[in-house]
Amino acid sequence: MPDDTTRSAVRPLLSERPPAPLAGRIAVPGDKSISHRALMFGALAVGRTVITGLLEGEDVLATAAALRALGAAVERAADGRWIVDGVGIGGLGEPEDVLDLGNSGTSARLLLGILATHPFTAIVTGDASLRRRPMRRVTEPLSRFGAQFLAREGGRLPLAVSGAPAPVPIEYRLPVPSAQVKSAVLLAGLNAPGRTTVIEPQPSRDHTERMLGHFGAEIIIEPAPTGGRRVTVVGRPELSAAPIIVPGDPSSAAFPLVAALIVPGSDVTIANVGLNPSRTGLLQCLAEMGAEIALENRREAGGEPVADLKVRGTALRGADIPPERAPSMIDEYPVLAAAAACAKGRTTMRGLAELRVKESDRLSSIAEGLAACGVAVTVAGDDLIIDGAGGSPPGGALIETRLDHRIAMAFLVFGLATKEPVRIDDSRPIATSFPDFVPLMARLGAHFRVPD
């Protein structure tokens, strides 16, 4: 796998208003968060785990490659299922080469958790974007297990991790809600004796906790005396291989969902979307903005709630989005901003500090891109304030994506509603999470093309 998207030619893409409303039924790729964790827990379990619906984007494939390098057998079967033959808790081995995780922050942070309590040294790196992202908020708590980290300035990749030979369990209070930091600590705690606890000020995505239970770990979730929640894992369990069915990724579904809302007259159904309560913040926001979204065929798959989303074009209105909603929709703010720019009135999104440390500084990327497209937008501290056009914003700008897949997709969606086409400077990063984004959107009637 290439370690840097700059190795291949830049691929600009232009988005313009389609001649007809979007229409059709689609299914989005498997949930990226669940796909990463399914591979990792399968590698740490005893026996063979069969995964159906795994997202085969570059980020998840980077996780699979890293686990192979650490000694787990991870293969794709001819029928599309993925087979993981695990080595058990503490059974991974020292890799012969550097672990290159491409653009995947989830892979890097969760894998550092696993490596922190394995008694060997590994070197972890990534592409240009990932190497700019801070890792100290993960390495700091992981050091408390006894692991040692040698990193670039600011705790950035590439870094060397020497896992603790005699790890000790810890109790760690998250400064801000973060599913990735929480998961890294819990994964480290699996190979430490006793109980490891994470205290989170607000509930964040709970895929790790759900999957721990699915594989047979003892996981205890209780209210924290000072507010928030305590999540505890009992160390040194024997995880048992378990089948996983990966639902459609709600973060990927967000793009055709918002596209259908902002292109008048659209009627789109998105099948098999995961509706984990810790991931439904976007749906709540859009409902407050007046969106017409129906949840059909509700069911459960692999321990996760699932439904089909039926979406119709809607005249949206502005809303005030509270900061406590951020953990349940942190990846969806770029495309929510596109919706807000088309809505009538002001939308204020509060408490977006986490956006500054994603694949890019997404808060700046959103604001700069919308402003270039003629949208009235303000960043006030960690808040994003957008005065919507009440219809079609001007558009007509070139957007710098900064190797960020969600910025790229959000502005392509935005261009479907603007008066003038919107161009992104590089579409390559989209492959990290949603390789079929462009053809899938084309099936609904979206107009994306290589600019002249």
**Which residue out of 100, 249, 331, 387 is catalytically annotated?**
331
Task: Enter the tokens of residue 157.
Answer: 């990749």
Is the residue at 238 inside a domain?
no
**Together in a domain, 401 and 434:** yes
Provide the domain limits for residue 115.
32-232
Q: Which of 172, 253, 311 is nearest to 437 (CA)?
A: 253
Q: What is the DSSP letter of 31?
A: P
Q: How far is CA 409 from CA 32, 137, 153, 164, 233, in A?
A: 16, 28, 31, 40, 37
Is the residue at 237 inside a domain?
no
Is the residue at 262 inside a domain?
yes
**Together in a domain, 217 and 365:** no
Is the residue at 418 inside a domain?
yes
The answer to whether the CB of 86 falls within 8 A of the CB of 241 is yes
> How do the pLDDT tens digits run along the chain, 452 residues long?
344 444 468 999 999 999 999 999 999 999 999 999 999 999 999 999 999 999 999 999 999 999 999 999 999 999 999 999 999 999 999 999 999 999 999 999 999 999 999 999 999 999 998 999 889 999 999 999 999 999 999 899 999 999 999 999 999 999 988 899 999 999 999 999 999 999 999 888 899 999 999 999 999 999 999 888 999 999 999 999 999 999 999 999 999 999 999 999 999 999 999 999 989 999 999 999 999 999 999 998 767 899 999 999 999 999 999 999 998 899 999 999 999 999 999 999 999 998 987 777 999 999 999 999 999 999 999 999 999 999 999 999 999 999 899 999 999 999 999 999 999 999 999 998 899 999 999 999 999 999 98
- Tell me whether residue 97 is one of the annotated catalytic residues: no
Domain count, the chain: 2
Is the residue at 240 inside a domain?
no
The answer to whether the CB of 432 falls within 8 A of the CB of 29 is no
**Together in a domain, 274 and 195:** no
Task: Enter the tokens of residue 242.
Answer: 């378990």
DSSP string across 300-360: EETTEEEEEEEEE----B--EE-GGGGGGTGGGHHHHHHHHHHSEEEEEE---GGGGGSSS
The answer to whether the CB of 192 falls within 8 A of the CB of 167 is yes
Within 10 A of 325 (CB to CB), how many other CB atoms are there? 18
Instruction: Report how far residue 281's alpha carbon sits from residue 433's, in angstroms, rounded to the nearest whole number.
Output: 20
**Together in a domain, 98 and 208:** yes
**Together in a domain, 19 and 42:** no
Look up the pTM and report it.
0.83
**Together in a domain, 384 and 436:** yes
Is the residue at 196 inside a domain?
yes
**Together in a domain, 208 and 75:** yes
**Together in a domain, 184 and 266:** no
Q: Which CATH number does the domain housing residue 205 bear?
A: 3.65.10.10
Q: Which of 201, 142, 138, 145 is nearest to 175 (CA)?
A: 201
**Together in a domain, 117 and 264:** no
Q: Which of 170, 203, 232 lies at the terminal end of a domain, its last residue?
A: 232
